[in-house]
């Protein structure tokens, strides 16, 4: 048997066991590293080209200097437990989370949990962001175990193993991923998109925090990052308000005044467009060009802006002279955790022209304005939830007849509301940019628990409606609310392919029409062999969109004499009661039991809202028919198919605008309106 001395003579390169043991023992006694997350990123991080970053290669903190301080707060040497990033899109917040992971895996190993809004989002994050970051960074590539599917010592797509720790990646929509592990590092990304409850176990954010309880005295770090959601229902805004509310102040390159960049100070170019736009100095109106941005942002500082009632600790204003900067920089946090807010104006990835152009395209469109607030400004969107004036809507009715498809209507949908003693229904025609026209509405009296009302509904669904050219079109999708007499609705829908059983859902995160699930159906007390599909309908978004479109209706025609695209059109058959129902609800801020505030839709007591509910269902059916996803080519083909001018246009066209046969003058006016409509559609499709 060879002794150690003989082995070393035979194998000169063999390491000494004493040395190896001593080195490992020494490493185990080593205190946490002094290097910060920001320093680690500067020294070791590489950005993968596969990540989609416009700046692949060696990481540099100088590219986006405002990212340095948040990463310092995530370092073990900083006393903060929670760090909040209320940031707009394209500002680098995800990169901060990636560096948080990289530092943990490479320099301060610990169990880590990364939570995204859903399991699918988690998979996409690993594929497009995390794994490319691991592969591109040598120190991570060598320390994070290779991804293997059948070995216990390897990583998987949702579990990254490294010496001394691991990272579990999961979704906030899965309670299983938020159980059975204890972690010292937690990153919750896009928390404003998380569901309010997961699998009946409560708020996933609370469940995630509980995973860190066992490590409370051992340096827990939690990163919360997100673009904001809706005001009154936005987690990241709540966290930011509770933080020390840091904002990024930059010096004017001309007068030196420290200021936060605010959107209202971003001015249009000489021709009123985005080209050549600039910032006006908040203090003296100095013209700040886009070419000044990089040096200005490099000289910027984060300042705590929380409000304090004491006179000796005032919050800084939006701008102040340069000599006061140290005074405000020295403000204490007073026990508040670090919170950072920044928007796209500071980003090296987005130009000011792109930002201003995004505003021009969003202006006047409620849904696009919401996206602009959240994704560009990094602010929770405040929805104008007050109900439009029903009396003003009554004055906008148009002289077209019910049961005819007005000019511009291309696709028909139907919404049905089930009441105790009746079925109420409405039919809408949808056109370019989701403009809509009420085509028909009514009620079917009778107990919905009997067959009679449903047979009558079949007859109405089978109706054909004539357009302005005398051609007949049928209803292409019908939704029936299942909130009352659910089994009757399920049974009706399961054997009719064009009928969807719908279920209204609260919450801004619920899409207008979600993914259906199969539900059991009972017929005469027995379970049917096949169930029905139940479709969730996002009532919050739909109602917000409706009120935005009604404001366009109230605003009246534009310079072409037509209502703006996206507006609602209603016939003279609509009375005051109809419009009261359509605008029955308002969005109000409600205090919840847990102390949080939430915006909810409410209606006055004893005020019916069936017309509102039916519009929401019709809107969901338009989404089901994928009208939201129509691009230029599809709208153009559909318009050419259903609005092409027939040979005898004059005879048919007049029926849209007057209930009586038209004379020559009326026919000429109708033809002119038709041509205006086609021209407007062409401009929209080409824009």
Q: What is the pLDDT of residues 562-620, one digit of tens each?
A: 888 889 999 999 999 999 999 999 877 776 665 566 778 888 888 999 999 999 999 99
CA distance 535 to 501: 6
Contacts of 57 (CB under 8 A, 6+ apart): 46, 47
pLDDT of residue 36: 95
pLDDT beyond 80 at 251: yes
Alpha-carbon distance of 425 to 461, in angstroms, equals 10
Q: How far is CA 119 from CA 88, 177, 538, 664, in A?
A: 23, 9, 21, 63
d(CA 479, CA 493) in angstroms, rounded, equals 9
Q: Which two tokens stand for residue 60?
A: 């540099």
What local confidence, expressed as pLDDT, does residue 87 receive? Answer: 97
450 C-beta neighbours (distance < 10 Å), count: 10
Q: How far is CA 39 from CA 56, 68, 447, in A?
A: 18, 9, 71
Task: Give the model's pLDDT for residue 521.
Answer: 83
Structure tokens at 682: 């062409």
| pLDDT tens, position by position, 145-166 | 887 655 556 668 889 999 999 9
Give the mean pLDDT of the chain: 86
Tell me the C-alpha distance between 208 and 213, whole Å: 10
Please write the tens of the pLDDT for every residue from 514-564.
999 999 887 766 676 677 899 999 998 899 889 989 998 998 887 767 888
pLDDT of residue 482: 93
Domains present along the chain, CATH in parentheses: 1-30 (no CATH), 36-242 (3.40.50.300), 250-334 (no CATH), 390-633 (3.30.420)
What tokens does 286 get?
Answer: 């100095």
- Are 253 and 296 spatial neighbours (Cβ–Cβ below 8 Å)? yes
DSSP string, 482-508: -SSSHHHHHHHHHT-TTEEEEEEE-ST
Does pLDDT of 221 surpass 80?
A: yes
Pairing mode of beta strands 411-419, 477-481? parallel
At 100, give phi and psi (nearest 5°).
-60, -45
Alpha helix positions (H), 438-575: 452-461, 486-494, 539-555
Q: DSSP label at 144? A: B
Torsion of CA 633, 636, 640, 644, to 10 degrees: -170
Res 107: pLDDT: 94
C-alpha–C-alpha distance, residues 439 and 414, integer Å = 10
pLDDT value for 673: 58
> Tokens 């009120």 map to which residue?
547
Q: What is the pTM of this model?
A: 0.69
469-523 pLDDT per residue, tens: 788 999 999 999 999 999 999 999 998 999 999 999 887 778 899 999 999 887 7
Burial class (CB in 10 A: 0-12, 13-18, 19+), 30: exposed
Q: What is the band of 131 on the pLDDT scale with cuts at 50, 70, 90?
A: very high
Structure tokens at 69: 């301080």
Q: Are 328 and 303 in contact (CB under 8 A)?
A: yes
- pLDDT for res 385: 64
Residue 523 pairs in a beta bridge with: 526
CB 350 within 8 A of CB 344: yes
Residue 658 has a pLDDT of 38
- The proportion of the chain whose per-residue pLDDT surpasses 70, expressed as a percent, equals 85
Check whether 652 has a pLDDT greater than 70: no
Among 113, 373, 70, 38, CA closest to 240? 70
**Cα separation of 597 and 604, whole Å?**
20
SS3 assignment, position 522:
strand
Q: Which residue has the higher pLDDT, 11 or 489?
A: 489
Tell me the β-bridge partners of 602. Answer: 586
CB 587 within 8 A of CB 600: yes
Crossing angle, helix 610-624 and helix 539-555, to 10 degrees? 100
DSSP-assigned letter for residue 191: G
pLDDT at 359: 93
Rounded to 5 degrees, φ, ψ at 587 are -95, 120
Burial class from Cβ neighbours inside 10 Å (0-12, 13-18, 19+) for residue 613 reads: buried
Contact by Cβ (8 Å): 413, 476: yes
CA distance 492 to 490: 5
Average pLDDT over residues 319-329: 95
- Mean pLDDT on 272-287: 94
Alpha carbon distance 27, 21 (integer Å):
10
Q: What is the pLDDT of residues 336-353, one digit of tens each?
A: 999 999 999 999 999 999
Bridge partners of 502, per DSSP, are 481, 535
What is the pLDDT, as a whole number, of residue 248?
98
Model confidence band, residue 663 (pLDDT cutoffs 50, 70, 90)? very low
d(CA 500, CA 493): 6
Question: DSSP state, 15?
Answer: P
DSSP-derived secondary structure for 660-676: S---HHHHHHHHHHHHH
Residues 6+ apart with CB under 8 A from 652: 468, 469, 470, 646
- DSSP lists the bridge partners of residue 230 as 381
Residue of higher predicted confidence among 24 and 615: 615
Quick check: 214 and 184 in contact, CB under 8 A?
Answer: no
- Total residues found in the chain within this entry: 687
The CB density around residue 298, as the number of other CB atoms within 10 Å, is 13
Using the structure block, give the residue that is written with the tokens 């937690």: 186
* 117 three-class SS: coil
Instruction: Please choose, from the candidates 495, 490, 440, the residue with its C-alpha nearest in 3D space to the C-alpha of residue 465.
Output: 440
Q: Rounded to an integer, what distance in angstroms lies between the CA atom of residue 568 and that of residue 582? A: 12
DSSP 336: P
Which run of H or of E encompasses 478?
Answer: strand 477-481
Query: How many CB atoms are located within 10 Å of the residue 67 CB?
Result: 23
What letter does residue 432 receive in the DSSP assignment? G
100-133 exposure pattern, b = at least 16 Cβ within 10 A, e = fewer:
bbbbbbbbbbbbbbbbbbbbebbeebbeebbbbb
Spatial separation of the C-alpha atoms in residues 148 and 156, rounded to whole Å: 6
Residue 534 to residue 34: CA distance in whole angstroms: 56
Residue 534, strand partner residues? 501, 517
Looking up tokens 């019910």 gives 402
pLDDT tens-digit series, residues 292-304: 999 999 999 999 9
């Amino acid at each position: 048997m060879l002794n150690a001395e003989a082995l070393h003579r035979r194998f000169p390169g063999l390491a000494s066991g004493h040395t190896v043991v001593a080195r490992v023992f020494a490493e185990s006694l080593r205190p946490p590293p002094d290097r910060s997350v920001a320093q680690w990123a500067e020294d070791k991080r590489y950005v993968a080209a596969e990540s989609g970053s416009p700046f692949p290669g060696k990481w540099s903190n100088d590219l986006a200097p405002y990212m340095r301080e948040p990463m310092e707060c995530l370092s073990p040497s900083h006393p903060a437990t929670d760090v909040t990033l209320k940031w707009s899109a394209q500002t680098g917040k995800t990169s901060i989370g990636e560096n948080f992971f990289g530092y943990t895996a490479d320099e301060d190993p610990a169990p880590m949990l990364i939570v995204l809004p859903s399991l699918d989002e988690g998979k996409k994050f690993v594929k497009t962001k995390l794994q490319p970051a691991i592969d591109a960074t040598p120190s991570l590539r060598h320390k994070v175990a290779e991804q293997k599917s059948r070995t216990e010592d390897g990583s998987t797509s949702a579990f990254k193993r490294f010496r001394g720790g691991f990272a579990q990646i999961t979704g906030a929509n899965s309670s299983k991923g938020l159980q059975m592990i204890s972690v010292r590092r937690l990153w919750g990304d896009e928390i404003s998109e998380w569901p309010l409850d997961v699998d009946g176990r409560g708020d996933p954010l609370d469940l995630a925090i509980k995973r860190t309880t066992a490590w409370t005295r051992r340096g827990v770090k939690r990163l919360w990052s997100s673009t904001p959601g809706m005001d009154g229902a936005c987690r990241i805004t709540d966290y930011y308000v509770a933080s020390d509310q840091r904002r990024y102040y930059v010096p004017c390159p001309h007068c030196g005044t420290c200021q936060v960049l605010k959107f209202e100070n971003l001015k249009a170019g000489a021709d009123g467009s985005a080209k050549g736009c600039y910032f006006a100095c908040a203090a003296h109106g100095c013209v700040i060009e886009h070419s000044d941005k990089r040096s200005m942002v490099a000289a910027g500082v984060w300042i705590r802006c929380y409000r304090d009632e004491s006179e000796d600790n005032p919050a800084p204003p939006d701008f102040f002279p340069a000599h006061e900067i140290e005074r405000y920089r020295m403000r204490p946090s007073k026990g508040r955790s670090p919170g950072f807010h920044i928007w796209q104006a500071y980003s090296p990835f987005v130009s000011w022209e792109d930002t201003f152009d995004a505003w021009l395209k969003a202006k006047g469109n409620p849904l696009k304005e919401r996206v602009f607030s959240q994704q560009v400004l990094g602010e929770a969107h405040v929805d104008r939830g007050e109900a439009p004036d029903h009396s003003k809507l009554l004055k906008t009715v148009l002289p077209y007849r019910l049961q005819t498809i007005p000019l511009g209507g291309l696709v028909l949908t139907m919404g049905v509301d089930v009441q105790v003693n009746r079925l109420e229904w409405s039919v809408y025609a949808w056109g370019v940019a989701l403009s809509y026209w009420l085509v028909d509405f009514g009620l079917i009296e009778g107990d919905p628990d009997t067959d009679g009302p449903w047979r009558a509904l079949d007859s109405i669904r089978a109706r054909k409606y004539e357009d302005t050219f005398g051609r007949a079109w049928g209803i292409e999708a019908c939704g029936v609310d299942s909130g009352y007499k659910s089994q009757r609705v399920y049974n009706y829908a399961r054997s009719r392919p064009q009928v969807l059983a719908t279920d209204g859902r609260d919450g801004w995160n619920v899409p207008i029409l979600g993914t259906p699930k199969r539900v059991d159906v009972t017929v005469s007390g027995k379970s049917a062999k096949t169930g029905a599909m139940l479709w969730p309908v996002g009532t919050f978004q739909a109602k917000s969109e409706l009120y935005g479109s009604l404001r366009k209706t109230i605003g009246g025609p534009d310079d072409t004499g037509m209502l703006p695209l996206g507006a609602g059109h209603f016939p003279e058959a609509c009375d005051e009661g109809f419009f009261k129902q359509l605008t029955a609800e308002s969005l109000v801020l409600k205090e919840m039991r847990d102390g949080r505030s939430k915006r909810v839709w409410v209606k006055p007591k004893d005020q019916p809202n069936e017309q509102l509910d039916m519009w929401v269902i019709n809107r969901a059916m338009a989404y089901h028919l994928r009208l939201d996803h129509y691009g230029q080519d599809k709208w153009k083909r559909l318009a050419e198919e259903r609005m092409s001018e027939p040979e005898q246009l004059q005879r048919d066209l007049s029926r849209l605008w007057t209930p009586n046969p038209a004379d020559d003058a009326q026919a000429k006016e109708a033809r002119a309106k038709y041509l205006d409509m086609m021209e407007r559609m062409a401009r929209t499709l080409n824009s």
